[in-house]
Amino acid sequence: MASIFWFRRDLRLEDHPALNLAIESAIADGDGVVYGVVSESDYVSLSTLSPIRQESMYASWRALDEQLGQRLSRVADALETIISRAKALKVQKVFVSAAYDPLSVAFMKDARQKLEAAGLALVVGPGNYAVAPGKVVKPDGTPYRVYTPFFKAWFELANQEPVTLTPGGSFKRLDDHLGLDSPDYPASFEGAATDPKQIGRVRAGQEFATRTFESFRRRGALFAYQEQRNRADLSGTSHLSHALAHGEVHPRSLLAQLGSSPDETTFAKELAWREFYADVLWHNPSSLTDYLQPRFAEMRYDDGTEHGEARLAAWKAGRTGYPMVDAGMRQLLSDGWVHNRVRMIVASFLVKDLHLEWQRGADWFEHWLTDFDPASNAHGWQWTAGCGTDASPYYRVFNPILQGLKFDPNGDYVRKYVPELHHIDGAAVHEPWLLVDGLAKGYPAPIVDHSDERNESLARLAEIKVD
């Protein structure tokens, strides 16, 4: 009997215990044949996402297909195809990696039922976390709600040896076996629905992730991580978020390459934030879209008002008149990735300067981010909005000008993404309205006054009496 491996957010071959289970089963029950399948019909509808996000998905699939010697099958609907082909392929078991976000959990529950009804078994192997969500618990067995103690407990469990690909498996395309050109799925991995301008803009895959990590070390950024990771104008972070979100690298493989220097430990702590948020979401599935602290749902927001919606549109387009916010929003549209510090600045601005609910921003991020991750996105937003895990109180309101001066001290980041401000040298770019010709090239005046909106936001907080 052959196996089917259904690749979802685990698009790699190395350090992949779930894939190894599929290979071992195929070897034990037959000639080691594994059919690798990816599907557009997983829980998001690919064609509704931004062109750059669609292209990033195709880039990941192309890279995996290449690793498999062009033997990956892209199918329109994985379940339908698997069920309809299983008999002809002599397959009884479908393997998949565990996923923990609520939409994936529901999707997989449904998939299991449908496969079992068709006489097929769904075997779920380990997923893409150093420690699976739900496994790090306090001595009394309850989950952590605070990051620092979570990190300490997580770190004890996280350092495990990576595993290598089980030898002896042979990957095949579904149509290789059937000997026909299948009308059910497109042969190519080019993103038919995506904007042609995006093709080639996103580099992806396991080998690219390995090179990205090597370059992070080689250029010294890993060893200056504490000092530089908050600087938006420098390449001070790893840029591994797409690879981690798509499972092109397992976090365990990264942890295994880290020493114990303070910079390397700080990097491990960032990997742990990803795992902490996955854990929080696992224990609180409704926090994907609801307030983790429900009191915040009672707050007054400007969603649905004419001025609120107009401000949302300005925020999305990167035309708020605050250069650091606008540079971030334009980086999102152009690169599908935004520096972490800038994600916090734009998120704080949406919630605390524009008084809009965090979910509006999270949806926009989901549409554009090539590293979109349900837990990191929802909880990155909730943390910044002050309604999530404990670390960031609501009354902490980022000042977009001071943040710009601190984390883009020469203004290079702003000038890179906001061409209407190219004519302003140095840090003055963060306050163009102070210059005679600052707004001369079409850059807008601020749509709100930050200090007024900060006061307004604190007044609304007082109404819901949060400590």
Spatial separation of the C-alpha atoms in residues 351 and 461, rounded to whole Å: 12
Pattern 192-231, ligand FAD, x by CB under 6 A: -------------------------------------x--
Of positions 74, 93, 246, 274, contacts ligand FAD by CB under 6 A: 274
- Which residues within the stretch 376-395 sit at the binding site for ligand FAD (CB under 6 A)? 376-377, 380-381, 384
Q: How far is the CB of 208 from ligand FAD (least distance, A)?
A: 13
Stretch that binds ligand FAD, among 87-95, 125-133, 269-277, 432-440 (CB under 6 A): 269-277
Distance CA(418)–CA(438), nearest Å, equals 12
Q: Assign residue 465 a region (left: φ > 0; alpha: ψ between -120 and 50; beta: otherwise).
A: left
Using DSSP, state whether 165 is helix, strand or coil. coil
Nearer to ligand FAD, 82 or 271 (CB): 271
Which residue, 182 or 340, has its beta carbon nearer to ligand FAD? 340
- Strands 170-172, 73-75: pairing kind: unpaired
As beta bridge partners, residue 37 has: 6, 73
Query: Toward ligand FAD, which CB reaches closer, 191 or 247?
Result: 247
Assess contact for 286 and 293: CB atoms under 8 A: no
397/402 Cα distance (integer angstroms): 11
The region of 48-56, 167-175, 317-325, 365-373 touching ligand FAD under the rule CB under 6 A is 365-373
Strand, helix or coil at 444? Answer: coil
The residue number whose beta carbon is nearest to ligand FAD equals: 380
Angle between the 374-385 and 102-117 helix axes, to the nearest 10 degrees?
160
Binding mask 317-346 for ligand FAD (x = CB under 6 A): -----------------------x--xx--
Tokens of 86: 């299983």
Residue of the chain from 147, 296, 372, 407 that contacts ligand FAD (CB under 6 A): 372
**Residue 194 or 237 with smaller CB distance to ligand FAD:** 237
Q: How many Å apart are CA 25 and CA 68, to the nearest integer?
A: 19
| 276-315: contacts with ligand FAD (CB under 6 A) | 277
Taken as a whole, the chain contains a residue count of: 467
Distance CA 328, CA 326 (A): 5
Site size toward ligand FAD, by CB under 6 A = 27
Task: Choose among 178, 6, 170, 3: nearest CA to 75.
Answer: 6
- Answer for the pair 388, 292: CB distance below 8 angstroms, yes or no: yes
Query: Considering the rule CB under 6 A, would residue 271 count as an interface residue with ligand FAD?
Result: yes
Please state at what angle helix 340-348 crosses helix 323-335, rounded to 10 degrees.
120
Give the end-to-end CA distance of the chain in Å, rounded to a whole number.
61
CB of 373 to ligand FAD, least distance (A): 4
Of 292, 369, 387, 461, the one binding ligand FAD (CB under 6 A) is 369
Report in angstroms how near the CB of residue 341 gets to ligand FAD at its nearest. Answer: 8
Looking at beta carbons only, is 54 or 241 nearer to ligand FAD?
241
- 273, 322, 349, 364: residue in contact with ligand FAD (rule CB under 6 A): 273
* Residue span binding ligand FAD (CB under 6 A) among the ranges 131-139, 255-263, 369-377, 392-400: 369-377
Radius of gyration (Cα) for the chain, nearest Å? 23
Which residue, chain included where needed, has tokens 């707004």? 439
Contacts with ligand FAD, 147-186, as mask; x by CB under 6 A: ----------------------------------------
Residue 317: both structure tokens together:
């387009």
Residues near ligand FAD (CB under 6 A) are 229, 237-241, 244-245, 270-271, 273-274, 277, 340, 343-344, 347, 365, 369, 371-373, 376-377, 380-381, 384
